[in-house]
Amino acid sequence: MIRLLRFAVQVVFFVVALLFFLRVLNNEGFREIFTSLHLFPGLIRNHGESAWLWLTVAMLFLPVLAGRLYCSFLCPVGFIQDLVSDISARLKLPRRPAITSLRFPVFSLAACLVLLLADSGFVGYVDHFSHFGRLVDLFRSRFSLSGWLTVLFIISIAVLPFLWPRWFCTVLCPSGALHGLLNQVSFLRFRSKGSCGKCKKCTVNCPTQCIRNGQVDHAFCVTCFECLEGCSRGSFRLAFGPRAGREPFSHGRREFIRIGSAATAGMAFGGTLRVLALSPDVKNVHTVLPPGSLTAGHLFSRCTSCNLCMIACPTHVISPAGLENGLAGFLKPKMNYDRGFCTYECRRCLEVCPTRALHPYPLEEKKRTKMGTAEINEKLCIPFVSPKDCVACAETCPTGAVHVSRHLGVGQPHIKKELCIGCGACQFACPVIPLKAIIVRAERVQGVAAPPEQKSHHGQGHRYRHGRSASEFPF
Amino acid sequence: MNKLHIAFAVIVSLSASLWAAKPSNASFPDLVAVKGGAPDQMFMVGIRSLGGMERFIKKGQTVLVKPNIGWNKPPEMGATTSPELVSKIIRMAYEAGAKEVWVFDHSVEPEALSQQTSGIGKAVKDSKGLLFPAENEADYREVKIPKAKLLKQAKVHRRFLDADVVINVPVLKDHAGSGITAGMKNLMGVVWDRRFWHREGLHQCIADFPLLRKVDLTVIDAFRVMFKRGPQGISKDDLREEKIQILSTDMLLADAASARVLGAEPASFKSLKLATEFGYGSIDLDKKKIVRISMPQ
């Protein structure tokens, strides 16, 4: 019964997660709740902003009260691994728990927490929320640079678990690591009492293979109740209560030293990475970044590269960077004005960003945010080098920054820099090949552009004749 | 005279009367201009003077209504065709016996946003028109235009090529590149590669393209005219409410009248002047039969 219930809940949450990432379930309240449920991005999103921080923190107490229900009932990444585990059991493959003695997940969690406190988005490369986002983007866009990391992710959840069940959960997932730690002091326990017939059904059924000699290692137990279901003699019981926590596996000085060394090593590793390779070196960032990034440092320190902004963008201008922005910017968003442009009356990326790495400006402020400034190369621009009219750039400029002045019978574009917001509409529209005649140079700090001129004498309006009578036709 | 003679005379008279009663194209005006009503009302009045929808649509035909859905702007910004005009044309097309009425435009901004914000998406849906996507290259077919001077071939949306009847419904605006956007420029929204036109010679390509296929009816929406900073417009200061609508079977003539609405001579726009060299239309408004209708305020 519980097995069926758990399966049903897992399916529902898998579909809910899919609909969230595909922006089908898109209302603001739902987005707040859904992102705050997860440790990452919840902690990054809500730290400093207390409105939903309580939810993220409350989720941390869930394992103490009720074990790892989050991992076993809710998490879609766990769901995929459980399906694999099911197939693996049917194929009777030799399943072993992943290396437990080094307490890898504590390592990963500690590294992430250190990096988090030191303001870095490294957590995005291991946390399950961001992985799931990149997975959805992979299928939606058929290929992107973040696809390579996602292939590794797919291997960790759909290939490795054939032999090492829930490999991702036990080795990499920082949420899983934290939940596993808290599970050590959980009120919920699985115990084998009295009439155990040593049939090993519990051991075989367990999706994380955490039962040894009829005893559950609660560091890896995901509270899935499979052992209860499998036990034919009803010998496996649920124990609940504050005194349930005495464990054969989790005590003693050796264990304490293991956890302590793993945590220390994790913090050292994280700190070293932060100093050597992942420090967001903003001096070398030349690419235009999405609106709301403020600076490269702000973006890279909060963004977990979940790809939600890329999924949401209606022109597909937001793309994952390679190494051009350094290791700190790897797979994080940048604007690609060869693929698209930032359409004016839109703020979808700001709406969906789960960590507020893209600051959620209201639309009117986003329309004044200066991501960059356009520059014309008069050696390439058609009306400068030939007597032909073009000005595709002026056509598509939403703020009137690119305006046209006539020279020898041909309209030539010029830029009013203070009006330009660097949206890339001009660069995208420019027909010159192979190099564009107008390109946007990034602003290192995204400032505020001047408001578009409400009244202007530019354009052809001078021909309009005032004072025609209501019935007069001009032909 | 015997019964045979009488029968013969009756048959000949009846045929002659039937033939005389069928309106010939020569008796319709070259251009109808309406002023002073809402866009849908002006269309109803204007199309009657042009022979009614029945002149253009036979029962069972497919009709393409091609509005301007180029920009993600609301209708009151005048960058796109009035949605109520689109809706009225679609409804009247069905009433005249059209089997299917198709609508599309290859928007500059994302089409889903543009269709929604301009109100045209809803207008098409409410009038039971069929709104087609235009952001997939697979929907376009390569065609040749042998008489063209620059645009010798182009990838054109199949719904433009396959429709039995084409009704072009642009919104009249100033245009930074071509000077004016009316009937001819509106057809740029049926091709895949706009950059080619800008790169090779914008005015000549605009003049070349109509050689591909004759547009059956052009309806210029000049209700809210963008006089400067077109084709997008930056503020309402760029607009004037003219409350005019221009209908014609000669797209070039309709564009010439539109030029006058903007306050300019038709020949001052290079694309119009180049188009006269092909002979598919005329810009000589003075030589044409124009019906002008002022609607009561």
The residue with greater pLDDT, B71 or A191, is B71
* Residue whose token pair is 């009117």: A364
pLDDT for position A467: 46
Q: What residues in A contact B237, CB-CB < 8 Å? A: 454-456
A310 vs A314: CA distance, rounded Å: 9
Least confident of A77-91, A257-271, A323-337, B277-291: A257-271
CB contact under 8 A, B198 and A411: no
Whether A99 has a pLDDT exceeding 70, the answer reads no
pLDDT (tens digit per residue) in A418-444: 999 999 999 999 999 999 999 999 999
**Per-residue CA distances from A261 to A102, A104, A130, A250, B56 (Å):** 9, 11, 28, 15, 85
Structure tokens at B15: 């045929």
pLDDT for position A279: 57
* Strand bridging mode B165-169 / B217-226: parallel
CB atoms near residue A189 (< 10 Å): 21
Degrees to nearest 5, angle at CA A155 with A154 and A159: 115
Q: How far is B251 from chain A (nearest CA, A)?
A: 16
pLDDT (tens digit per residue) in A344-353: 999 999 999 9
Least confident of A158-162, A256-260, A404-408: A256-260
pLDDT (tens digit per residue) in A355-383: 999 999 999 999 999 999 999 999 999 99
Chain B, window 155-184: residues with a beta carbon less than 8 angstroms from a chain A beta carbon:
174-179
* Strand bridging mode B217-226 / B171-175: parallel
Mean of the pLDDT values across residues A93-105? 67
| Chain A contact present for B283, CB below 8 A | no
Q: Can you name the residues that pair with A402 across neighbouring β-strands?
A: A415
pLDDT (tens digit per residue) in A301-344: 889 999 999 999 999 999 999 888 887 888 999 999 999 999 99
Maximum average pLDDT range among A69-78, A172-181, A225-234: A69-78
Name A22's Cβ contacts closer than 8 Å, sequence gap at least 6: A136, A140, A311
Tell me if residue A357 falls in helix, strand or coil.
coil
CB contact under 8 A, A461 and B238: yes
Which among A72, A88, A85, A81 has a CA at the least distance from the CA of A13?
A72
Which chain A residue is nearest to residue B239, measuring alpha carbons?
A461
pLDDT (tens digit per residue) in B63-93: 999 999 999 999 999 999 999 999 999 999 9
Which chain A residue is nearest to residue B254, measuring alpha carbons?
A475
Structure tokens at A352: 């969906």
pLDDT (tens digit per residue) in B135-170: 999 999 999 999 999 999 999 999 999 999 999 999
A288 vs A341: CA distance, rounded Å: 11
Establish, for the pair of chains A and B, how many residue pairs have beta carbons separated by less than 8 Å: 132
Which among A234, A233, A226, A242 has a CA at the least distance from the CA of A189?
A242
pLDDT for position A192: 72
CB contact under 8 A, B198 and A453: no
Cβ atoms of residues B79 and B181 within 8 Å: no
Q: How many residues does chain B have?
A: 297
CB nearest to A463's CB, from B231, B264, B285:
B264
The pLDDT confidence band at residue B15, using thresholds 50, 70 and 90, is confident
DSSP structure string for A185-234: T-SEEEEE-S------HHHHH-TT--EETTEE-TTT-----HHHHH-TTS
pLDDT (tens digit per residue) in B164-214: 999 999 999 999 999 999 999 999 999 999 999 999 999 999 999 999 999
The pLDDT confidence band at residue A2, using thresholds 50, 70 and 90, is confident
Q: What is the mean pLDDT of chain A?
A: 84
CB contact under 8 A, B109 and A343: yes
- A26 secondary structure, DSSP code: -
Q: What residues in B contact A471, CB-CB < 8 Å? A: 35-36, 294
Q: How far is B201 from chain A (nearest CA, A)?
A: 6
